[in-house]
Amino acid sequence: MLPGMEHVTTPWQRFADPERKRKFAALARVRPDTREGRYEAACLTFPDQCDDNLALMAMEQYPFDRVVIEERARLEAEEPTDGLPSKAQQARDIYNLAQGATSIDDKLKAHKLYAEIMGHVQKPGDGAGGGNTYIDNRSVILLPRRETNLAEWEAETIDQQARLVSNASK
């Protein structure tokens, strides 16, 4: 190595760094297990680089990496959940707060919190597509060139559309 270049690392060295993988595991653990959550964790893992490719690769590859899997298991085992209320217990407490609230504003806040905890409020990305909905904007109707008279062109267009519809339903 050249003198004065000891601190310089390549992108691949940063990508393979076990400390970065552990950081990703901790960040990904507190985010939703979606592409967006993993990408956010990956971007926070590589904040000092301007290389989005590292973040994209980390988003795709780190969840299956041995170091990341072991770190997530260690973090899960380390954090005790004894004595913490379950989701149902927490919802019951909030509902009781709503019942005992005297002002309308306090009741509305408690009911809103209750609805969010119980999943009655649908957030963006929670729909049927799970936020990964793909919309195909390609044209369905492809019109033939109008080189003949209008009646022939219209007949060709109707025939072509019928073939497209029948092929699409197969």
- 78-96: per-residue pLDDT in tens? 766 666 777 788 888 888 8
Q: Which residue has the tokens 């197969």?
A: 170
Alpha-carbon distance values, 60 to 13, 55, 63, 65, 118 (Å): 17, 9, 7, 10, 31
CB 13 within 8 A of CB 29: no
With CA atoms as reference, report the closest residue to 145 among 135, 136, 153: 153
Query: 83 versus 103: which is more confidently predicted?
Result: 103
The yes-or-no verdict on residue 66 having pLDDT over 90 is: yes
